[in-house]
Amino acid sequence: MDRVLLTLGIVVFFLLCLWGMWLGWRRKSRAQSVLVPPFPEIPAEPGEVRLESTGLYVSTTTAGNWQDRVVTRGAGLRSGAVWRLHPGGIAVERGGAPDFWIPREAVTGVRRDSRIAGKVMGTDALLVITWRAGETELDTGFRGDELDDYPLWIDQLSDHDIKGGAQ
């Protein structure tokens, strides 16, 4: 009888922990929905694809706060992704999660990094794009299948390309 009660107690404790995590995620999502506007949708005609990479969408955080994951509107869901650079922006197409668009004029920086919420690595194996969604600046992290693509992304999205008019 003692073993049954102990097992039942552990199962109840585990379920309470899951319920608490779910409540916390929901509360954070509601609070962020006021601060972070809906991400733009991918345009119907985005133009020619200039660069494409496959990999893993890791997360989006508030800029400069690598552990402050944005969870509202599906942004907190880690998933396989394809990133496509078009003349007007970046199409972030995620399997099993909402796709979104990062307008080119909203991009304020791009870099390699070793950490973002949900992923910490020993090397700079993440591509992080800093961009503005309304009044909020965000960092969106991507772990590409081909790390050799990162210099191409950084070159295409560097400040001289953004402010000087992209080719």
User: How do residues 2-44 score in pLDDT, each as one tens digit?
Assistant: 888 999 999 999 999 999 988 887 887 777 777 888 889 999 9
Per-residue model confidence (pLDDT) at position 52: 95
The sign of the dihedral angle between the CA atoms of 152, 154, 157, 163 is negative
Q: Give the count of beta carbons closer than 10 Å to the beta carbon of residue 101.
A: 19
Contact partners, residue 117, CB within 8 Å, separation at least 6: 58, 59, 61, 66, 67, 68, 69, 141
118-151 confidence digits (pLDDT tens): 888 888 899 999 999 988 999 999 999 999 999 9
Contact between 115 and 121 (Cβ < 8 Å):
yes
pLDDT beyond 50 at 166: no
Mean pLDDT of the region 46-56: 94
CATH level 3 topology of 51-163? PH-domain like (2.30.29)
Q: Which position has the token pair 């994951």? A: 69
Q: What is the spatial distance between Cα 150 and Cα 128, in angstroms, rounded to a whole number?
A: 10
The single-letter code of the amino acid at 152 is L
Contact between 167 and 158 (Cβ < 8 Å):
no
Mean pLDDT of the region 67-84: 88
80-126 confidence digits (pLDDT tens): 999 999 999 999 999 888 999 999 999 999 999 999 988 888 888 99
Beta bridge partners of 111: 128
Q: What percent of the chain has pLDDT over 70?
A: 94
Contact between 60 and 100 (Cβ < 8 Å):
no
